[in-house]
Chains A and B, each alone.
Chain A
Amino acid sequence: MHGRPRKPSTPVDENASSLKANKLKSLQSQFLHNHHNKIYTEEALKINEKLIEANPEFMTAWNYRKLAFEDRIQALIDEELRVVENALRKNFKSYGAWHHRKWVVSKGNTSTEREIGLLNKFQQLDTRNFHAWNYRRSIAELKNIPDEKELKYTTDMIETNFSNYSAWHNRSVLLSHLMEKKVEGYLQKEIILKEEYEFVRNAVFTDPDDQSGWFYHLWLLDQTVKVDMPTLVSSWPPHGSDINQVTFPIILYFDEPVEGVSSHTVTVQTENDIFKNVTWNPLSTNKFKCAQAWMTHLSIPHEEVNSSKKVQVKVSSEMSDGIISLSGVTSSRPWSFGFTVSVCQNPQPAEGQNRRLSYADESFCTVDTNSNSAGLLTSYFESKTSDYEQSTSSKWKSEMIATEIDQYRDMLTWAESKKIGKLTLARLLTAYDAVMSTGAPDTANMEEVLQLYTELMKLDPAHNQYYMDEYSLALLKQVTSNKESLLKYCWQYKESTSSNITDSLCLRLNNLSLSRIGSFERLLWVQSLDLSHNELHSIEGLEALQLLSCLNLGHNKLSSFMALDPLRFLKSSLKVLDISYNEIGAHTIDTRRYLCSSPMSHTLDYDSKFEEFANGDANLVNFWDAYSIFGGLNLTQLDIVGNVAVDERFVLFLAKLLPGLEWLDGEELN
């Protein structure tokens, strides 16, 4: 005790002091009694408060207050949980009720068993209640319930009733975590996948019409096939080729969209020089600078061309943390490819185009396999994936897929409902070819895949167009699978109108009922492409074909100008375009609107110059999309007749927009 003066005590003092002492003693003993008996009533709290006021150093009194506080909180929590439980009984899908429970639980101590018990009850009542499943996941995280335990729960749920998509979903989430975090017992992907394939087989085979297992199986297949990092699968110029231009594009084509391609991560060099300041552009509409195809323009300096007839160019990537996929996986294996540039001494002068290019059969003749262009084609098939990247350890993959193929073939012999069996078999066969990267895809497999999709179109007519799209992709895979099959679709122009365009091959894929195009990695060499008389409503992916100068899309199902958005990327090469007899202007809904550059998706600023250009014409104001697409193209020949949107006014608008146009709908312009 500090600061008290020393003085003798009087009897009055002593009396007052002993009264005080008695009062305090009584308070203290009452308090200790309450404390030991965990009594936290209002009255008890008042006693404690008086004690603290008199003697704030009485430690135990403060401890008691904390216990009382926690006790009151617990009472509040229990009350809230009771109210929520009652509300949930009335409506177990109420967002407000579940969130309140989550909020209350975050405020203090709650029993894990109690929450899990409640969840088990609700999940038995409705196995698909996603509110319950979400709450379960949040409790598991909060209370550190291990993933393995929750995985066992999904096993139990599925074994009770396999028709539980929610359980399969949670299983996929938990297994992914366990494999990703490299938890003990989950390190060998092959073993896990093998067990899971068997587990889901029960579900799918028991009732092939129940969708619960379908998507899980597809996920397993994707896990089996997928390569561990983004990979370069193709390029222009192809590895080992020889090209005869001084200025040309270089195209990098990856197996999935990537970010980070730049002069820091990709090196372009000749024997004597490294090209600095190479600008790589992603061939896609998003602002986030990621794309499956990247390109740059390269010009070999005159001195190098003149001094040596052949210039060796090498494109490579050594950096281990530059090129990244959308899911954050780095392409850490180095790759490279090389080609030579040899320019003939007297380049032919480019003639002015004064003849109209026609796609009629009579304009073509078969290909001279000794020509330059045929040579370039050959180098594509000689270079293959192995020159860029090689993924290892594919033996267990092909074996696993082969086992599944056998299982599904067998299933199709006894199952009444054939849809999922045929669809899965088609996907398995395609996957098998994908993991066998050593040679050309198996022709027998490809034929069977096409056959299966044809059967599925009849079996499941509601999804006819889905199977049609898959069929088209499979057909193009087949066509581009080797040189011989591709050459069947290649033609040469009989007469030349201009040395640039007609020396090249024309790839004619017309009249094939194609509803979708793909296999772009095998088509980067294409300069002239005929896709007329098909069922295309989208040309997505065509932007990778940077050499394209002639494109025929006549007689297809393109239903808006936005569908032509990929042509934006072909500004420097495209000269001849046919989009006649499509459905532009015939639809009120534009399904390409958000996949292309537009102000609505904040990927294109509205060009206010457009209004000036349209001259205030109320009808033309609707053609801002045509303006933004055609505005940059340097077409010499255009066919556009047979589209609802195209009337006289529009034709004038277009002619103004394309000053270099020489031919429009077959008529020569002056």
Chain B
Amino acid sequence: MGELAGEKHAAYILKVEKKKDNLEAVIMEHLRINGAYWGLTTLDILSKLEAVDQETVISWIMSCQHSSGGFGGNEGHDPHLLYTLSAIQILALFNKIETLDIDKVSSYIASLQNEDGSFSGDIWGEIDTRFSYVAICSLALIKRLDKINVENAVKYIVSCKNLDGGFGCTPGAESHAGQIFCCIGALAITGSLHYVDKDLLGWWLCERQTKSGGLNGRPEKLPDVCYSWWVLSSLIIIDRVHWIDKEKLVKFILDCQDTENGGISDRPDDAVDVFHTYFGVAGLSLLEYPGLKAIDPAYALPVDVINRIFLH
């Protein structure tokens, strides 16, 4: 089995951070703040966060904040819950949450909860359980969960539970590993995992492992490194991760590396990107690959960051 080329991946991320004008960077400009979260968290897991200039990053993040209190994907972009979470997570990495006007951000997030407990991503009303997770995770990190109706939020998430034990974007939507991570993560953070049939969901999740050792996101689909996070973190949260072959998954992730230029791709020999680099490294952390900092499966931040926030 190959090894994790940690140094190469750290170098790759730092390189991508600097390149802002090529096609790849420009086409992803609208979600740069997500990219920053993926890159910086990967660096922290690899214990290389000091390679980044904290001040520059934080000042750019704050420039992405809109007058409503929410954050956009980049400077001048409209605010949305998805980018607001990344902003908070990055500040948590740097232990600088106090930079935020907590009341303002929490009010923005809380304003997006609907009567039925669901969350809209922004003022334009798209509803999806991804946004339930983002809202709950954000508020929990800044210790303002009390600003929303948690009971209704949980009720809505539970209404998206399917007959195969999984969860979809909205009630009746098909189970998908990404949505499952969001729902399980939100239920974990709110102490509501008793609504989950762990055996039923656990079996659905463990059957995501294909012959190659990689995980897919739904039945009869191709494996993809990003599911090493979404399926794996869900399995860990419900304590069923022993139902997959961990070694085979490690091997699959390592095979997806570009060991020469750094970075990890969705499948072996495909083009790399920051998104899959993060999910690959985070997945390896969950699999207890040696030399990596432990990551928390629900908050998707290093365990020491979470302990710092909740244990004092």
Contact = CB atoms under 8 A, between A and B. Distances in A.
Interface of A: 95, 99, 103, 128, 130, 133-134, 137, 163, 165-166, 169-170, 172-173, 176, 210-212, 214-215, 218-219, 222, 257, 284-288, 290, 326, 461-466, 469, 515, 537-538, 540, 587-589, 591-595, 599-603, 606, 611, 621, 624
25 contacts: A128-B218, A128-B220, A134-B168, A134-B170, A137-B172, A165-B218, A169-B162, A173-B172, A211-B219, A215-B204, A285-B191, A286-B193, A288-B194, A463-B244, A464-B245, A466-B202, A466-B206, A515-B242, A540-B239, A589-B297, A600-B299, A601-B188, A606-B312, A621-B311, A624-B311
Given A133-B174, A169-B174, A589-B288, A326 B163 contact: no
A469 B239 CA distance: 12
B298 interface: yes
A358 B203 CA distance: 39
B102 interface: no
B57 interface: no
Contacts of A462: 209, 213, 244-245, 248
Interface in B194-223: 194-195, 200, 202-204, 206-207, 209, 213, 218-221
B125 A103 contact: yes
Nearest to A219: B163
A128 B221 contact: yes
Which are the 9 A-B pairs with shortest beta-carbon distances?
A603-B191, A211-B219, A462-B245, A588-B294, A594-B188, A215-B164, A466-B243, A99-B126, A599-B310
A159 B53 CA distance: 58
Contacts of B140: 602
A431 to B, nearest CB: 14
B259 interface: no
Interface string B282-312: 0001101000001011110001001000111
Nearest to B130: A95
A557 to B, nearest CB: 9
A257 B206 contact: no
A211 B220 contact: yes
A461 B303 CA distance: 31
Contacts of A284: 194
B298 A594 contact: yes
A463 B206 contact: yes
Contacts, number: 149
A212 B221 CA distance: 11
A110 to B, nearest CB: 17
A210 B298 CA distance: 31
Contacts of A593: 296
Instruction: Report which residue of B168, B237, B243, B288 has the largest number of chain A beta carbons within 10 angstroms of its beta carbon.
Output: B243
A288 B174 contact: no
B52 interface: no
B114 interface: no
B48 interface: no
B210 to A, nearest CB: 9
A142 B236 CA distance: 39
A463 B128 CA distance: 32
B126 A163 contact: no
A606 to B, nearest CB: 6
Contacts of A469: 243
A286 B191 contact: yes
Contacts of B238: 595
